[in-house]
Amino acid sequence: MKRTVLYIQGVTRYGGAPESLFNLTTHLTRYCPVIATSGEGELTRRLRESGVSYFAVGMGMWRKARTWPWLPLTFYNLFRESRRKGVAIIHCNTLWDTPYGVTLGRLLKVPVMTHIRNTFDKDKVKKYWLDKTSLIITVSEAVACPLKEAGLAYRVIYNGVDLKVFNRERVSGQEVCRELGLEGASVILLPGRVDTTKGQREAVLAMERIVKEVGQAVLVIVGETSRQEVGLMEELKALARNTGVEERVIFTGVRGDMPALYAAADLVIMPSLESAQEGFGRVLIETMAMGKATVATRTGGIPEVVEDGVTGLLVPPGDREALAKAVIELLENGEKRREMGEAGYRRVKELFDLNGTVAQVERIYDEIFL
């Protein structure tokens, strides 16, 4: 009989962490997943469609005073559901979920592990009870730096991409090109949450120089803003107008056909700032899976994913001139782009295949129960 793993994912906004959780729980072979989340959303919709069990329990930000009055009810509901489902291990999907997992683990008397997906400061080791877990997984060595300083053990398991979904042999970008009017354009794709830390502003500013050098260049920004930054999209559109590149920047909002968008791209960029606290960069392995070169910033765990000069080019975060120069270099050199895309494809199959990621996580579960 398969042991049940409870995954705690408090934040309902869909992004890299919930995407990684979805990929893991839908590909487990020897363990039975159940997810606890704060409410309905894109993650629960996808879980329902895939037949993965979940339940919703309101979980506010741990260190916010408004959360405290609700904690007894929260833990009553978590405990009741976990007991009913026979939970044998708790796996917190982010650093922020760890106090919930540690407390619940003590109530259930089961092991607790946490998965850290973003870079963070050393003071959070104590604040979020990382020292009270049985095991810590990080998505890169860069993420693990504060753990090393604190003398805590950890395992690095890189995120994985589903090569059956991001399959360059089967996915075409032709329909996307027709829909967005990209035929004949040099397509620069920037996917991900639209956020002041993610570099969309720098990318729009870089387009002023890029279009002067590569007249057919078009920047396609895919994603939506968080509730905290609802006005950012209009700011970016205004910036594009004011810099004279309005006709060369397309905002698509959220899309459900990301493999096709990668297929339509000539180049993918990830211009995150230091403040983004990028632990890994899921966009990068999706790019590699589709055989595309990338330009990304040298921050967080990104240099562990992109092999500079081999699978893409790395530039300093926030340096729009360096970003523009790198993009122009690759757009003007199709052979170099293709070579980098092929190198990236080989790298993703070797290091970032989802099946390998899942197998490593399941081996850790095995060790815990030895």
SS3 357: helix
Which pLDDT does position 35 carry in this prediction? 98
Same domain for 254 and 265, yes or no, is yes
- Residues 6 or more apart whose CB falls under 8 angstroms from that of 123 comprise none
| Cα(310)–Cα(153) distance, integer angstroms | 32
Q: Is residue 220 part of a domain?
A: yes
Query: Do 194 and 342 share a domain, yes or no?
Result: yes
Q: Tokens for 19?
A: 């995407």
Asked if the structure places residue 168 within a domain, the reply is no
- Does some domain include residue 167? no
Residues 64/69/72/75 CA torsion (nearest 10 deg): -30
Question: Does residue 195 share a domain with residue 146?
Answer: no
CA nearest neighbour of 204 among 313, 320, 311: 320
State the average pLDDT over residues 56-76: 92
Q: What does pLDDT average to over the chain?
A: 96
- Which pLDDT band, with edges at 50, 70 and 90, does 227 fall under? confident
pLDDT tens-place string over residues 86-140: 999 999 999 999 999 999 999 999 999 999 999 999 999 999 999 999 999 999 9
pLDDT at residue number 249? 98
Does residue 147 sit in the same domain as residue 186? no
- Lowest pLDDT segment from 74-88, 215-229, 347-361: 215-229
pLDDT tens track for 283-315: 999 999 999 999 999 999 999 999 999 999 999
Are residue 15 and residue 69 in the same domain, yes or no? yes
Sign of CA dihedral 82, 88, 94, 96: positive
pLDDT band, residue 172 (cuts 50/70/90): very high
Pair 337, 219 in one domain: yes
In a domain, 165, yes or no: no
Helices (H), 109-165: 124-127, 145-150
User: Which residues constitute the domain of residue 280?
Assistant: 174-351
Whether 240 is covered by a domain: the verdict is yes
| pLDDT(14) > 90 | no
Q: What was the pLDDT predicted at 230?
A: 80
Instruction: State percent of the chain over pLDDT 70.
Output: 100
Q: Is residue 296 part of a domain?
A: yes
Give the pLDDT mean for 57-69: 90
212 or 11, which is more confident? Answer: 212
- Rounded Cα gap, residues 79 and 245, in angstroms: 54
Report DSSP letters for 177-229, one per residue: HHHHT-TT-EEEEEES-B-TTTTHHHHHHHHHHHHHHSTTEEEEEE--B-GGG
Contact 364, 155 (CB under 8 A): yes
Question: The sheet that has 249-253: what strands, in order across it?
Answer: 249-253, 217-222, 186-191, 267-270, 294-297, 312-315
Which pLDDT value is given to residue 12? 85
Both 27 and 85 in one domain: the answer is: yes
Residues 74, 187 within the same domain: no
3-class DSSP state of 35: strand
> Does position 257 have pLDDT exceeding 80, yes or no?
yes
Based on the fold, state whether residues 78 and 201 are members of the same structural domain.
no
Going by pLDDT thresholds of 50, 70 and 90, the confidence category of residue 225 is confident
Sequence-distant (6+) residues with CB within 8 A of 340 are: 293, 294, 310, 311, 312, 330
Regarding whether 317 and 197 lie in a shared domain, the answer is: yes
149 and 255 housed in the same domain: no
CATH number at residue 332: 3.40.50.2000
Instruction: Return the amino acid letter for 322.
Output: A
Q: Residue 90: inside a domain, yes or no?
A: yes
pLDDT of residue 63: 86
Q: Both 346 and 278 in a single domain?
A: yes
- Does 166 reside within a domain? no
Number of domains in the chain: 2
Which pLDDT value is given to residue 210?
98
